[in-house]
A and B are shown apart, each in its own frame.
Chain A
């Protein structure tokens, strides 16, 4: 069954049209990146999928359910650019937060937290507080928290945007490993072309004013991707293709680059 289905979706903020005529379908197991310049509405689209804001018109469903019902059923986990960890909770307690809210009992919670800590390779840091961790480690806690209740869908809003290039590339590898291990579907907002090309099975290129989808590029690089994937000629071809699609979107609008 289609995980995300968006039909003829429009979002206006007052006079501004943030999104117009968006149609998008995402199948199970896909890793879809939304890429585009600031103001193209990629984060807005992600928030509409998660029912954090409502569309002006059109529909968005997750697992065949209206976005609101999917949110209430906890069908997705979300990761923001900032880790948004609770300062007063340890790593383990932060990961357990959604499980507490879903009323899991203590023993089940502890087992799941251990599993998630292993998954994001933070063993030994369970009792650390967020401010005792590096930015990359904080973001790994945030990912573990989002995946702790086994959501079908993982929404990520520029999760590595605040990290340095080295950490970002390492986190990309980790994310792919986690994606494979968890088998979830990922919608990933980014403004890094190479990150989008490296991670995704499909890249959705968006352009601003009004925010719309200006191109969709299938990334047919073999799985699993490795550090050498970034050095393959085909990877560069795809990066170029995404870049050109981005510029095309810009040119249609005739804004200076």
Chain B
């Protein structure tokens, strides 16, 4: 114990150094990507290359112009709120849809995975249809969900509730697949051990199979977290919701020729939303999943 206590300050120093190294790597890569964008832009414009597309201020605005646009007022003539205020509000609205959809999809996906993992017959019968459900383009499903669900939803959930369901539709699939795989990953000896303790199926599920499946489930949740944001944005389009990022994307794509930075700025905010969803799952994983360092996916 004392040896471990002695190591603690050193461990902290190592952790700090590692965090600094990570942050600088991130900044380094960011600067690299920035340089790539601007370099490409500069070269193509100087040589007037038109393949694969002509580069100008409309097709590839300066990156700093995009960030300037975020701080600028949304409407010409320095009136009204700043663009970033509008976009953050829209992102918050979309985040609500995506978060509810993500939670819904994760829970349903997990439950479906548990059922399919336990009953081989169901798995053989249903899994192909689960897969098929994901081959249908979300753009086809989205309007149907809105048409079917919206009339039935209480006013509180009107419109955005339907969008959450569309986000859930994109979320559940990876969770189901990885839950099945994870539940079946439990060690054979560990299962024998549970049998020797005369543990029933239900307790084997919660004491062994689910904990063993957690790394798999979290791998799926990371995919689903970003997919739920994309699902929410796409879901907003056919339901003609104006309050979210989807509405802003439609809006700024109409003004693209005159004000390309608006759409790019919306993209930046949408990406930031997806990344923050991913990070939340990542942090949850760090807290929940306790594994040997070499076994963490």
Contact = CB atoms under 8 A, between A and B. Distances in A.
A129 B290 contact: yes
Interface in B179-212: 187, 189-190, 192-199, 203, 207-208, 211
Given A76-B196, A101-B197, A84 B190 contact: yes
A74 B198 contact: yes
A84 B189 CA distance: 7
A131 interface: yes
Given A82-B189, A124-B1, A97 B290 contact: no
Interface in A163-193: none
Given A87-B290, A88-B214, A88-B289, A71 B196 contact: yes
A52 B207 CA distance: 19
Contacts of A77: 196
A251 to B, nearest CB: 34
Nearest to A149: B197
Contact of A87 (B189, B197, B291): B291
A84 B187 contact: yes
A101 B199 contact: yes
A212 to B, nearest CB: 24
Interface string A127-156: 001110000000000000000000000000
B292 interface: yes
A252 to B, nearest CB: 32
Interface residues of B, number: 23
Contact of A72 (B189, B194, B198, B292): B198
Interface in B250-297: 289-293, 295
A97 to B, nearest CB: 7
B196 A101 contact: no
A98 interface: yes
A86 interface: yes
Contact of A52 (B190, B192, B291, B295): B192
Nearest to A72: B198
B193 A88 contact: no
Given A71-B198, A86-B208, A88-B214, A78 B193 contact: yes
Interface residues of A, number: 25
A22 B199 CA distance: 29
B112 to A, nearest CB: 23
Contacts of A74: 197-198
A101 B207 contact: yes
Contacts of A84: 187, 189-190, 193
Contact of B196 (A52, A87, A130): A52
B207 A88 contact: no
Nearest to B203: A101
Task: Give chain B's interface secondary structure class.
Answer: helix
A100 B290 contact: no
Contacts of A76: 196
B194 to A, nearest CB: 8
Contacts of B211: 86, 88
B166 to A, nearest CB: 34
Contacts of B187: 84
A231 to B, nearest CB: 35
A92 to B, nearest CB: 14
A50 interface: yes
Given A86-B190, A87-B290, A131-B292, A100 B196 contact: no
A78 B196 contact: yes
Contacts of B190: 84, 86
A100 B195 contact: no
A80 interface: yes
Contacts of A86: 190, 208, 211
A50 B196 contact: yes
Contacts of A97: 197, 207
Nearest to A130: B292
Contacts of B198: 71-74, 101
Nearest to A87: B291
Contacts of B203: 101
A10 to B, nearest CB: 22
Contacts of B193: 78, 80, 84
A52 B290 contact: no
Contacts of B196: 50, 52, 71, 76-78
A30 B293 CA distance: 41
Interface in A76-122: 76-78, 80, 82, 84, 86-88, 97-98, 100-102
17 contacts: A77-B196, A78-B192, A78-B193, A82-B189, A84-B187, A84-B190, A84-B193, A86-B190, A88-B211, A88-B214, A88-B290, A101-B194, A101-B207, A130-B292, A131-B291, A131-B292, A131-B295
Interface of A: 47, 50, 52, 71-74, 76-78, 80, 82, 84, 86-88, 97-98, 100-102, 124, 129-131
Interface of B: 1, 187, 189-190, 192-199, 203, 207-208, 211, 214, 289-293, 295
Given A88-B290, A97-B197, 5 more contacts: A76-B196, A78-B196, A84-B189, A88-B214, A101-B194
